[in-house]
Structures are given as C-alpha cells and as structure tokens.
Amino acid sequence: MVQLRSRLGQQAAPRQMQRLATGLTPAQQQSIKLLGLTNLELADLLAEAMAENPLLEPAADLPEPALARLKQPQKPRPRLPAARPLPPALNRLFAGAARNRGGDGGQGGTGAAVPDTAAAGLSLQEHLMGQLGADLADAEDRSIGQALIEAVDEGGYLTLAPAEIAGRLGLSAERVERVLKRLQDFDPPGVFARSLAECLALQLADQGRLDPPMQRLLERLDLLAEGKREALRRHCGVDRDELDAMIAALRRLDPRPGLAFEQAAVQTVTPDLTIASDGQGGWEVELNGDSLPRLAINEGYAPTGAATGEAHAFLKAQRIAAQWLLRALDRRADTLRRVAGVIVKRQAGFLEGGAAALKPLSRREIARSLDLHESTVSRAIAGKYAATPRGVLALAAFFGGRLNLPAGQAGEPGEEAGMAPAAARARLRQIIEQEARGHALSDEAIARRLGEEGIGLSRRTVAKYREMLRIPPSHRRRRQESL
C-alpha cells in the first residue's frame, strides 16, 4: 500500500473513528493536504507514490514536461550569483546588518528588520517577481523587469549593465534604464543597485534622508574606509557632530539587502494556472498542463482469480489506495479551478487595467460564494501562481484589504463594499507623477484630490501610503527638482 502518511498525514485504510471526529472522509482529508501543494511539490510527492505503488503510472496524455517531472528526480535549484563582498575596511561599519539577519544567532544588531516575506520562506527572486506583475502595466516593460530580476545577485545587486541587458533584448538602453528606476523602488529598499554607494543611497532616499551632505559622503566612501574623517568632514561641509550622526545613519542600513531572503530557493516561478481572455470579453482559467502531474491506474496489475490470497489482498489494498489518491487529485483540481474562477470574475478589472482597478477581496468572500471553509481557500491560493496577461502573478496578489466608501456610495451586490488599498495607492502614485514641475502637492492637497474622486483618505493615511510607495514628501520632491 502507498505509504503517504509522512507527506499527507493520512493512512491508506479507512478509519471510522477518524471520520466521526472530523466529519471528513479520508479521501477528503487527503485532498485538503494536496490542495496546499504547488504543482511542482505535487510532482515530487506523486513520484514517491508511483515508486511505492505498482498500480500507479503517469496518465497516457500527460504532457512531456509534466511526465519528466514525475519520472526524474528534481535537480538542485540554481543559486543566484554570490553577493559581492564589502570593502574590508567597511566590514565593521555594517556588522550590525549581518547580525540582524541572524548572522550572530539573532542577538540583536542595528540593521533593518528582516522582511516578513523573507521570514515566510520566499526567495528574493520570487519576492521581486511578485511585485513586478502588479507594478508594471506594459508587457514589454515587464519582460525588461524579468531580465533585470534574473540579473540580480543574492545580495540584491545588479550584475549586468543596463546596456548589456538592452542589447540582449534588442531594446534601447534608455528604456531599460527607465524600467530599472521603477524596480529600484521595489522592496526591500536598496535592491537593483550597481554599487555600494547606490545601494545605500536608495535606502536613504526611502527614509527621506538623502540630502546633499549625505550624497557627498557616499561619493567618498573611500575616505570613510581609510578612516580619514577630517578630510571627509571637509568634503561633506559639516561639523564633527553632524558627520558622526551621518555615519551612525549609515550603520543602520543594510549593504546587502537581498541576503535577508532564503538563498537556496532561487528559481524561475512556474505558474500553476493560466488565465487568458476567452475572446468574448471574459476570462478562462485552466490548470497548467505542462506542470500539472496526473496519474492513472495500471490495469495490468489488477487482481485475478489465479493470484494467491496474499497477492490478491496486496493488489486490492494498493488499488484502493490508488483510487483514493486519484479522487483527491480530482478534488484538488476542481477546487483550484473554482477558487481561481471567482478571483478572476471579481478582479477582471485588475487584469485589464492594473492595480488601480483592484477591488477589495477576502478569502471569506470566496469561501461564502463557493460554500467552502475559509481555510480551504487559504490552502488553494498558498504558493500558487497564475500566468496572466499582466505577467506571472501570485494568487495572493489579487487579495487585499478594504477602504470604506464615503457616505452615499455602495459596492456591487454580493461584493465587499469599499476600495482596495492597492488601488488607492496606485491612484496616489498617478497623481504625484502628474504633478506640474515645481508644484509638488502636499499630503493634504492629495487627500482633497482623492476625496473629490470618491476616495476618502485622511492626510495621515495619504502620508502612510506615500511612504509605502517610497515617495518623498512634497518639500523633498521640490528640493530634488531644484537639484
């Protein structure tokens, strides 16, 4: 009998007491376990099942890529290029960043906190790809963005010059530079830098602290490394106390922000689903056949009258186990399609117009519409990706919180009323990008503008969203224009 207990937590024989305790049959419990796996993880599990159950074999019509994953062990995932070393004289300056990433066993440090996404096991590449699909609307810009992400080392630095990437893609270097500037706004701050000075500058700009004296300090990190503080003080045009404060600010930065992420899980994201236009104004959802593993029962091993009693019992038990596994796979596929179908129906505007059209959506809303438990919906979307017209997106990207609508407005029947915060942030970014030169809008003015459009945000919330987008306040934007 197939031993799936270690991976699925289920035995292959029915257990009446377990069914009474949980209200679920063993096949249903098995399908819930399978639901939380990605297609690639499922392929690994099914390869083990085939090795242990002679009645299981790949489905006859299985595409070659999926068949190869079932028959061949998974190769080690390629690693990103190693992070570039720091100048030896600056190692002590940034020792706090390494400690805060866990380099000293988690005993403190002054560096930035490890991102939640890193703690959750995402690789740097996966984290950046998740932001790419939601931030860049143009398909060509997304292809440039993907090439830039693939050229990042494990520390978060760009390993290829934009001109080299432009040559490979047959595009202008200026176009790649423009996309690079957008990607340098991604989380974590400091990624896509081409030098240590640029990495630190991106983080300081994110904090609103990249003023002219700090820029001059970054120009002469060599003086800092050599301990020539008096020469550095004169170059920056500050007194000793101010220089000490500036150096203290540098100590709180992370010179290699990508190291906070899981380094061993670097891989190209393989979509579990495909979302495409049906040509009639709607959308179709299909499971990705190239990565979806499917099995069948080999009838050549069916028990016969000539088999001994022991062999007959063995094959019968294996057949029952195989049938339960196949039913669990069918249930998993059906649940994934249903959940993705509701997501697509709700977020069609997002697929067409980007983050500005994102609607509030919760797992609870999907669970109610499909008569499922909320935890089932959570398992269905966990770690799953979809190939869409806007690039490969995590299903989690379609979800978000909810902003209350102003009085007098209401949502569509059956839908959560309000506006998705991501949509409000996208509109806020548009307003700032459309500012007249020399007339940067204050947070209060932006809040009034949004209010006129029916997006009721307080000045404080506008400031919070602006900081999340790593956009400096109005007085700093005016200063940057003057510089």
Structure tokens at 203: 């983080």
Gap between the Cα atoms of 154 and 241, Å rounded: 35
* Largest separation between any pair of C-alpha atoms in the chain: 96
For residues 402 and 419, is the Cβ–Cβ distance under 8 A?
yes
| Consecutive H or E run containing 57 | strand 56-58
Q: How many helices (H) and strands (E) does the chain have?
A: 24, 6
Residue 234 above 80 pLDDT? yes
Least confident of 152-166, 192-206, 287-301, 444-458: 287-301
Residue 8, pLDDT > 50, answer no
Place of tokens 């937590």: 9
- Domains of the chain: residue spans and CATH: 5-74+269-298+308-396 (no CATH), 88-100+119-260 (no CATH), 401-482 (1.10.10.60)
Q: Which residue has the higher pLDDT, 130 or 163?
A: 163
- The pTM of this model reads 0.52
Write out pLDDT tens, residues 67-99. 666 666 554 445 556 666 676 667 777 765 555
CA distance 278 to 20: 44
The residue among 85, 249, 225 whose CA lies nearest residue 155 is 85
Q: Which band of pLDDT confidence, cut at 50, 70 and 90, is reported for residue 351? A: confident
Q: Two tokens at 363?
A: 């797992």
59 vs 134, residue with greater confidence: 59
